[in-house]
A and B are shown apart, each in its own frame.
Chain A
Amino acid sequence: MIPEARDVLADMAAQAVRSASRELRLVTRDEVLEEVCAILADIAPEGEAHATAAPPVAPLPETAAGLEGLAALDRQELSALLGAVLAAHPGLAVLQGVSGQTLHHAPDLLSRTYARILDRKGSPLLLVAGEIRANSRDYPRPVPVELFKRPPFDLTPEDIAQALAAMAASPEYQDIGSVTTGTGAVHLFSTRHLERGYALFLAQRSESLEMNP
């Protein structure tokens, strides 16, 4: 397999992933493969583009040799090569989705943090728990429950209540806790990373910032 083929595939893959990231979509290897195959099918053996459908992505700086090399691969080989270039591409990120799928995005267009949120949108429980744990670990800080009502979470109060109830009942989520500040606002945190007393302090502090110009 010639190196040009790998380079050409890397460019095509990046373009496809970037295009999806711009639209705030995470893509699987199979979805990228479909796009790549469509482009390759559009190109005649002599290297001329068909006059039919335009490629779904912008024209690429491809070399004829690279395309030839790719065209010579069967679908399984192409898929394997695609997996390798997606994992290795410095401008792309890989996310192990909660569905078990491996997902790809361009982090400069769709940050890892945001991709994680998008991936979990199908499950309020995973969405809320994941965000609580990440915040408690990374900043560290609790998150106000109000956060989950706003974009990009867009959960209803019922969704949130249900998710919290499910967490409370599940052994896997016993680390998820809540504190209530003097104003009655609820903040959520993970005991894996934050102690209750400190979580309460941070929650109260976050409310105090608006009175501390």
Chain B
Amino acid sequence: MTRPDGGFAGKVLRVDLSTGKTSTLDTREKYGALLGGTGLGYQVLWEEVPAGTGPFDPANKLVFATGALAGTSVPCSGRTAITTIFPSCWPKALVGSGHMGGQFAARLKYAGYDAVIVEGRSEKPVWLFIRDGRVELRDATHLWGCGIRRATLEISQEMGADCCVAAIGQAGENCAPLATVVNSLSHSAGGVGGVMGAKNLKAIGVQGSGGVRIAGDKGQWERLVKFHLSILGANNQHVVPAFPSPESEYYSPGSRWVGEPGKRWGAARPPVEITGSIHDMSRIAYRTNSAAYFLGEQAWKHTVRGNGCTSCPIRCHTTLKVPAMATKYGVSEIAQGTCIALNFGRFFFPQQPGGPKGQSALEACMLGMNMADDLGIWSNYGQLQRDFIKLANDGVFKAKLGSAEYAAIPWDKWRAGDPAFLLDIIPRIGHRQGELGHVLGQGSGGPFEHWGIREEVWTADRATTYWKMGHPKHHANEDDGQCGVIINTQYNRDAQCHSHTNFVRNGLPLAEQKRLAGELWGSPDSVDAPGHYTRMNPHKARRAKWALIRKELHDCLGLCNWMGPWVASPLKERGYRGDNSLESRFFSLATGQKLDREALDLAGERVFTLHRALTIRDMATADMRGAHDHVPGWVYEDPKGAQPFSQGTIRMDRADMALAMDMFYELMGWDKATGAPTAQAYARLGLADVGRELKARRLLPGGDAA
């Protein structure tokens, strides 16, 4: 007998830093239709944060929200979304979310909360203590000015070693738009640290003795969890190994499944050899080694182990130990990270001795991880580093920094690719020192705003990978043609969507991908060969919509969109199929609220559309096509002059992309001219009141036409 009260913790905690008062509300009652995560965040912003609110105003709110599946053993379910008026969004801050993994989501659920709404501003630095029903604001004066590591240590001493601390560093305290909040050493949410700093909130410490109830039959639940495990690949749901294996028909050197039998975690004591079957369920944690993927074979001897979020077997954060870090630079020998954070250090250098996989690059990455995750600096998906290189090479620093400041920066080390350069530059940014620290900490909008650089210079230069509104591309046309471009137009920061790229880079041959695509999105033509794109068609629009809706859904359920959706698998006996209904099957069993795939996807669409409505409201225009859904000029060029749709180029065609947006808007039920949802579109999704509000503001397409 299933009771419909599983999954969710049941309560949302509201903390008013101005008054010090806390209260709770019922999650399902208030936010059930928006599921949780970003959906809950968007609803709070819609209802409580007026258009025009600045990111550092006390009236801005920070919504830490996880989802119904977090805290359970659903693989890849350790995610928290943090929704707010996003500081690095330029020229006008709009709704955006940071995302972090680690232990925070699960601990919050065990404490009895699905979300924490932080509002107002504290007079003095505080940190938020949450242990079960006990919620207190405690003095953080002694922690202000400390890095994230010390703050976490001292809060844990006060609160208990088993708690999870999400803290800002000096970058957040200084209200840098490029500031993070970090939990569990290396799990950082970009862009939101400065909002915490502006509120004088140093950290949230959370732990609970409660649990997450599974409403459905526990045997059925266990079987579904095991099924999910059986269709997992490696990081980013790459489903074939990077190496030829007797256990696989396919392999792909570009795959993140690098854990080949014979390799070993060399810095473990004693080293841990990878042995046995690559499909063994007790060997999933050995498949991924992000450090080896990005920094080369040398990383294996420095690998202590994999690490990551609660419940995830993938362990995409690699824990590295490099003894030289202590002797050469005086920092910890141990650092940990994945993806862009792992690369934080080496991305500052145009070149380094030994190349991108040499010793210098390794040391730069170790320094970067250590310092960025202690000061709490966000890279803006590497845009900080790309902007730095361009500004240096274009002579902008020389022109704009005072001569004293410019001379104090060890440029010789930078040109030499010496990792020690980072010991100077990273603290400048983290502490917002000088003109450089102050401006670069704002994201690309900083140079645009303060140094008279026109955004067009960036959008014309493909090397910047700049996209729009102060942020870069994130898996756009270089990965996935029109789908990638559509996805990158939709948000107010870099898209943070991996649904599409996880599939196209999963390592399966194109023929297999097209076969699966036919089943999933109605036609093999929904997927192209890399760099051999075909003209836009409705199937690609369907796939783009699926990618966006599912990303939003994952962000609402506490699931990891860097792994999901799980629509392909390593299993030859399944024809390499995954399961496109996995999310709804888990949701139904966990909560007792039976929603099939279509119904749950509809909720995801509701959430995504609310984000659209917020953007329209706060931009005060319904003309999304003209004012928001931009594509930078470099997307329509090729350095060798290759034509769009020829073989060997990622160059897109303007007319074709216009058609792509037409098709996408039509599929979404949005007005074709403006890309704005119509009243009917809102109503169909249960957002009729949102539609009415926008109508009152004349922000429905066609003016006040209903």
Contact = CB atoms under 8 A, between A and B. Distances in A.
A110 interface: yes
B251 A113 contact: yes
A213 interface: yes
A39 to B, nearest CB: 26
A101 interface: no
Given A152-B244, A183-B355, A198-B531, A209 B505 contact: yes
Nearest to B260: A151
B648 interface: yes
Interface stretch (A5-13, A43-51, A76-84, A199-207): A199-207
B478 A139 contact: no
B505 A113 contact: no
Contact of B531 (A113, A202, A213): A202
Interface string B216-259: 00000000000000000000000000011111111111100000
Contacts of B340: 213
Nearest to A131: B244
Interface in B501-550: 505, 509-511, 529-532
Contact of A195 (B355, B356, B510, B647): B647
Contacts of A95: none
B479 A206 contact: no
Contacts of A113: 244, 248-251
Contacts of A108: 572
A197 B648 contact: yes
B660 to A, nearest CB: 22
A111 B246 contact: yes
B60 interface: no
Contacts of A150: 243
Contact of B478 (A114, A151, A208): A208
B339 interface: yes
A142 to B, nearest CB: 10
B270 interface: no
Given A197-B647, A201-B649, A213-B343, A206 B254 contact: yes
B649 A210 contact: no
Given A111-B248, A150-B243, A200-B648, A210 B478 contact: no
A195 B245 CA distance: 28
A111 B253 contact: no
A172 interface: no
B186 to A, nearest CB: 14
Contact of A201 (B382, B479, B648): B648
B472 to A, nearest CB: 11
Contact of A139 (B260, B509, B649): B509
B397 interface: no
Interface in A74-114: 107-114
Contacts of A24: 246
Interface in A179-213: 183, 195, 197-198, 200-202, 205-206, 208-213
Interface string A119-143: 0000000000000000000111001
A144 interface: yes
A210 B294 contact: yes
Nearest to B247: A111
A117 interface: yes
Contacts of A198: 531-532, 647-648
B245 A114 contact: yes
Chain B CB within 10 A, most for which of A139, A200, A210: A139
Given A113-B251, A202-B531, A211-B356, A151 B262 contact: yes
A109 B248 CA distance: 9
Contacts of A147: 253
A210 B249 contact: no
A206 B244 contact: no
Contacts of A140: 509-510, 529
Given A195-B647, A205-B531, A213 B253 contact: no
Contact of B253 (A112, A143, A151, A201): A143
Contacts of B248: 111, 113-114
Nearest to B475: A212
Contacts of A111: 245-249
Contacts of B479: 212
A143 B294 CA distance: 19
A202 B478 CA distance: 11
A138 B245 contact: no
A198 B648 CA distance: 5
B664 interface: no
Contacts of B251: 113
B253 A205 contact: no
A114 B245 CA distance: 6
B498 to A, nearest CB: 10
Given A113-B248, A143-B253, A144-B253, A151 B243 contact: yes
Interface in B271-296: 293-294
Contacts of A117: 244
B640 to A, nearest CB: 9
Interface string B340-357: 101100000000000110
A150 B251 CA distance: 13
A213 B475 CA distance: 9
A86 B240 CA distance: 29
A153 B260 CA distance: 14
B530 A205 contact: yes
A109 to B, nearest CB: 7
A24 B247 CA distance: 11
A213 B243 contact: no
A112 B509 CA distance: 15
Contacts of A152: 244
B83 to A, nearest CB: 23
Contacts of B382: 213
Contacts of B511: 138
A112 B246 contact: no
Nearest to B648: A201
Chain A CB within 10 A, most for which of B338, B355, B530: B530
Nearest to B339: A213
Interface string B621-653: 000000000000000000000000001110000
Nearest to B346: A211
B193 to A, nearest CB: 20
A201 B650 CA distance: 10
Nearest to A111: B249
Interface string B471-512: 000010011000000000000000000000000010001110
Given A113-B251, A151-B260, A201-B649, A210 B246 contact: no
Given A209-B254, A210-B294, A210-B356, A202 B530 contact: yes
Contacts of A183: 355
Contacts of A114: 244-246, 248
Nearest to A201: B648
Contacts of A209: 254, 505
Chain B CB within 10 A, most for which of A21, A111, A153: A111
B249 A139 contact: no
A205 B530 CA distance: 9
Interface string B373-391: 0000000001000000000
B231 to A, nearest CB: 17
Contacts of B572: 108
Interface of A: 21, 24, 107-114, 117, 138-140, 143-144, 147, 150-153, 183, 195, 197-198, 200-202, 205-206, 208-213
9 contacts: A110-B246, A114-B246, A138-B509, A140-B509, A202-B648, A205-B530, A211-B343, A212-B478, A213-B382
Interface of B: 243-254, 260, 262, 293-294, 338-340, 342-343, 355-356, 382, 475, 478-479, 505, 509-511, 529-532, 572, 647-649
Given A208-B478, A212-B478, 13 more contacts: A24-B246, A109-B246, A111-B246, A111-B247, A111-B249, A138-B511, A153-B244, A197-B648, A198-B531, A205-B530, A212-B475, A213-B338, A213-B343
Q: Which 4 A-B pairs have the closest CB atoms?
A: A201-B648, A213-B339, A114-B246, A198-B647
